[in-house]
Structure formats: C-alpha cells, structure tokens
Amino acid sequence: MFAFIFRRVLIAVPTLLLISLMVFSLQLLLPGDPALALAGEERDPAVIEAIREQYHLNDPMIVQYGHWLAGVFTGDWGISLRNQMAVTDLLLSKLPVTLELAILAMLVALAIGVTAGLVSAVKKGTRWDFGANVIALSGISIPNFWLGIMLILLVSVRWGLLPASGYTSPLESVSRNLEMMVMPALVLGTAIAAIMMRHTRSAMIQAMQADYVRTARAKGLSERVVILKHAFRNALVPVVTMGTLQFGELLSGAVLTEQVFTIPGFGKLIVDAVFNRDYAVVQGVVLFTGTVFIVMNFIADLLYFLLNPRLRT
C-alpha cells in the first residue's frame, strides 16, 4: 500500500508543477497590461515603471515564473488588483461557500442517482428501468443555467417559496442559508445524479450476474439480502470512485450555477477576475482547482485500492 501511495505522490508532484507552469504561461496571453491596471487612471510613467520593477514584469518569463512559484510555496499567491486582498485570504473566504454547495449537491446526487441506479438494475427491462433512464438522460442533457433559470421563475417568481438568488452565511441564519442553497444544490445535484445513476446501474447489473450472487441465492438468502449485502456492496467500488471525482469537480466551482444564483464561490470569483483582468486571482483559482482535482483523484485511487481486495493482493 505504501508503494502505491508513493507512486501516486511521485506522479502528482510533476503534474502540479506542469499545471502551475501552464497557469502562469496562459495568463501572459490575456489582453491588457497588469502594470497599467495597477497604475490607476493617471498612469504616470514613473509609477508604471516602479510597478513593473516591483512585480518583476520586466524580467523574462522564466524569471517571473520562478518568483511566482517561490511565492506559491511560501503562501504568497499575490494580491488581488480589484479587492486589494491577498489571494490566499480571498480563496479561503470563498472556500466555505463552495464547499457547502458541493456537499449539498453531492448529497442530492447520491440520494437520487444511487437509488435510481439500484432500482433500475433490479427492475431491468421494466417501466422502472425505462423511467430511470429517461430521468438520467434528461439530467445529463438539460443545461444547468437553463434549469436554474426555470427554477427561479417557477419556485421564486411565480410561487414565492424560496429566494431567487443571494447567499447568507449559516453562521448568521441556518434556515435562511438552506433556503438560498436548496435550488443551486438541486441544479448541480441532478446533473451529477444522472451520471451516478448510470454508473450505479451498470455496476449493479454486472454484480448481479456474478457467481457469488448466484451462490448467495442458492443458499436460500432473501432477495433483499442478496441485493443489498452482496451485489450492492461490490457495485459500490466504481460508484465511490466516480463520486469522489465528481465531488472534486464541484469543489473547483460551478461557474454557471453560481452566476445564475449569485453565489459568491469559486465559480463567480474566477468569472469576475477574468472580466477585471485580475491575473493573480485567476492564477490562484486555477492552481487551487488543479490541486483539488489531483488530490481527489488520489483519494479516488486510494478508495479503489481499499475497496477492491484484488488490488491489495
């Protein structure tokens, strides 16, 4: 197991370095000059030159990358041009919002997707199976922004049941926070539920055709015990792996959903940063996102290793 973890870490380190290089290089292709943005409206040539010296903008790209990477390792990810805040502080302030939305969306996805996939596999070829597949295809096909707008029109504008947009911290009001997060979590969760349903159904159908399931039935065990204790436990391996990766995708920020519901998470942060040419924030969010994906991928591999006895042998 330690050799397995060591190999994954060896792969993750150069991957992160490559991501950091790509993030830094691509932002240089963005239009606009950071020095002019920092200089303000007067744009005094002396001030612009001082800014270039301060932020090493006159140095070659590889030298700039070295300064930036050294700051990343020491926790200095730069300063936001728009908010005049440290990028690390800005990311930490948005992380609880995105984390809460990701957890709620994942709960919705697991409750709908795993249940529908289990029923679809057990009732294969019936109306239940057909209905679950229709729901799954609908969840994959419907764009998140369209579903979000429709929910706002129906639930908020027409019926007046929930707030249309905004965010309230759970520290201020738990009930108000849940009211504002229900619709965004439902929009994100239904899309992931469709993916989880397809994987659960496929894994369950394969598990129910295995020899150990036929042996369990031959022993006279009830169908409920056969399905839940024997087939479903073994079918969870690919489901857990996919769920971990999808959770990593949620942590990276749901750009469209957060824009529609005006949720101040990572998705909205990076959109605002791109429009305001806030390069340090763009670099920070993308680097954090890449790190999250690598960490969640590592966790998925580790869970797969722990759940699958054949890998341990």
Domain enclosing residue 183, as ranges: 98-312
User: By C-alpha distance, which of 28, 12, 15, 16 is closest to 65?
Assistant: 28
CA distance 151 to 147: 6
Q: Is residue 79 part of a domain?
A: no
Please count the CA atoms within 13 angstroms of the CA of 182 that sit on its side-chain side. 13
Task: Note down pLDDT in tens along the chain; length 313 residues.
Answer: 677 777 877 887 888 888 888 877 776 666 666 677 666 666 677 777 787 777 777 777 788 888 878 888 887 887 787 777 888 888 888 888 988 999 999 999 989 888 888 888 888 888 888 888 888 788 778 888 888 899 999 998 899 888 888 888 888 888 898 999 999 999 988 888 888 888 888 888 888 888 888 888 888 888 888 888 888 878 887 788 888 888 888 877 677 788 888 888 888 888 888 777 777 888 888 888 888 888 888 887 777 777 766 666 5
My answer on whether 302 and 195 are in the same domain is yes
User: By C-alpha distance, which of 122, 111, 117 is closest to 135?
Assistant: 117
* pLDDT, position 107: 92
My answer on whether 67 and 103 are in the same domain is no
My answer on whether 155 and 27 are in the same domain is no
Whole-structure pTM value: 0.81
Q: Is residue 307 part of a domain?
A: yes
My answer on whether 123 and 219 are in the same domain is yes
Q: Is residue 3 part of a domain?
A: no
My answer on whether 131 and 179 are in the same domain is yes
My answer on whether 149 and 246 are in the same domain is yes
Domain total of the chain: 2
Q: Please, what's the largest Cα pairwise distance for the chain?
A: 87
Question: Phi and psi at residue 220, in whole multiples of 5°?
Answer: 90, 15
